[in-house]
Amino acid sequence: MKILSIHFFLFILLVSTWSCDKDIYSTAVATVSGNLPVNPQHPLTDSIRAIAQRHIDRGVPGVQVMVKSPEGWTVVNAGYAKIEENKPMQDGMVAWVYSISKVYTATLVMKLKERGLIQLDSSIRHYLPRNISDRFAQSQNITLRMLLNHSSGLDNFTASPGYFLAQFNHPFKQPDKLEQLEYAFDAKSIFAPGTDFFYSNTNYLLLQLILEKVSGKTWGELLHTEILQPLGLKDTYYPVTESQVQTLGFPNYYFERFNNGELENCTKWNHAISHTLMGYGGIAANGADIIRFMEALMNGKVVSQSSLNEMRQWIQGKQSTEPDYGLGLEYFEYIKGIPSYGHEGDNIGGTTEVLYVPSKQTYIFISINAGRQLFGQYLFRTTDLKIALCKYISVQE
């Protein structure tokens, strides 16, 4: 399971000395009408609502939960999309999904692999120009499979001191793809390639570059032509334009800067970061679209059964007590002995998760508009809510 980096202690030090004007962070909330066939008698609704409300009462600003099970769909909204105006969470809202985007990137890799355009066990040097690959330690020994399952040993550039300093010095001047590469270049190797697990956005930044080089298309073009259009996913967005930020129905986003239990509005900052996360975290979507994609993937409608089996070949880090990661999929056991998989996502002002529990044939999407990237009370409040929901979905008792 992905673990938040120790580098976030530096994040706390920096953010505690950084001042902001709350007004420049606020943005309007629109409402998108959804056409989801919700089952009004869904047997999970009341329990999900009770779990969500219990954590709202503990201070979580807002949460949207979507579930698809054999009984159909249910949607639970609790708390506020916009605290300042008492705007509630509403059906049809669009949210940034952050690192859930990695599932889409891994799926694109598998689709090109099926066409013979990519070999998972080839070195990244076969696909990246030398002026890029030579800047990464032991690149000759790093394969695409290692990028996909985070066993490359490459450090996480978004947890680097330079990246953090840039965030706080220029929160609305976000780095483009080449500038992000500069943060990643010459990073230390955490371990020898293929010998351990370390979650790193650098891996998926490189996968995006490889996809674009091999296909001759941008990552966004591949996403639309290979996944969104064939599956009819019309409420999934990349890239997100500035006008869409105002019209798609995003909630406001909040963070706890001083570890004092008080939230501050960081909506525009959260948007600014999310715009640049690309193939490792840049998708925005309605939660129903995320579940539809996951359901299609798990049912063999996106990649072959052989590719899906490869995506579910789990590796386990040396310090882990359970498997960590497959190819773009995180492994979870919220209840011991009941495996599930999907992906979490995080940014400064929000946290998300999509999960599939095979034994229950149930999918859940969770979007919370408070970040957990600082080691304060909201790290635990938001994480506790996600765990409670995923545990319940795993047993449904």
pLDDT tens readout for residues 224-249 = 999 999 999 999 999 999 899 989 99
pLDDT of residue 92: 87
Domains and CATH numbers, the chain: 8-118+216-395 (3.40.710.10)
Q: Give the model's confidence band at 286: pLDDT under 50 very low, under 70 low, under 90 confident, else very high.
A: very high
CA distances from 203 to 96, 146, 157, 329 (A): 20, 8, 10, 14
The span from the CA of 276 to the CA of 263, in Å, is: 24
The residue length of the chain stands at 397
Rounded to whole angstroms, the Cα distance separating 338 from 359 reads 7
What's the whole-number mean pLDDT along residues 349-378? 95
Nearest to 73 by CA among 82, 64, 63, 60: 64
Q: How many whole angstroms separate alpha carbon 186 and alpha carbon 163? A: 14
Q: Who contacts 83 (Cβ-Cβ below 8 Å, separation ≥6)?
A: 61, 252, 254, 263, 265
106-165 per-position pLDDT tens digit: 999 999 999 999 999 999 999 999 999 999 989 999 999 999 999 999 999 999 999 988
Long-range contacts of 247-250 (CB under 8 A, 24+ apart): 247/30, 248/30, 248/32, 248/94, 248/284, 249/29, 249/30, 249/31, 249/32, 249/90, 249/92, 249/93, 249/94, 250/27, 250/29, 250/30, 250/93, 250/94, 250/95, 250/96, 250/284
pLDDT, tens digit, 9 for 90 and up, residues 314-336 = 999 999 999 999 999 999 999 99
* Average pLDDT of the segment spanning 18-24: 40
Provide the sign of the torsion angle of the four alpha carbons 58, 60, 61, 65, taken in this order.
Answer: negative
CA-to-CA distance for 346 and 367, rounded, in angstroms? 10
Per-residue pLDDT tens over the stretch 154-211: 999 999 999 988 988 899 999 999 999 999 997 789 999 999 999 999 999 999 999 9
Alpha carbons 203 and 155: distance in angstroms, whole number: 9
Helix (H, G, I), strand (E, B) or coil at 361: coil
- Residues 2-23, mean pLDDT to the nearest whole number: 42
Please state, in angstroms and rounded to a whole number, the distance separating the CA atoms of residues 132 and 72.
48
For residue 152, which phi and psi values (nearest 5 degrees)?
A: -75, -25
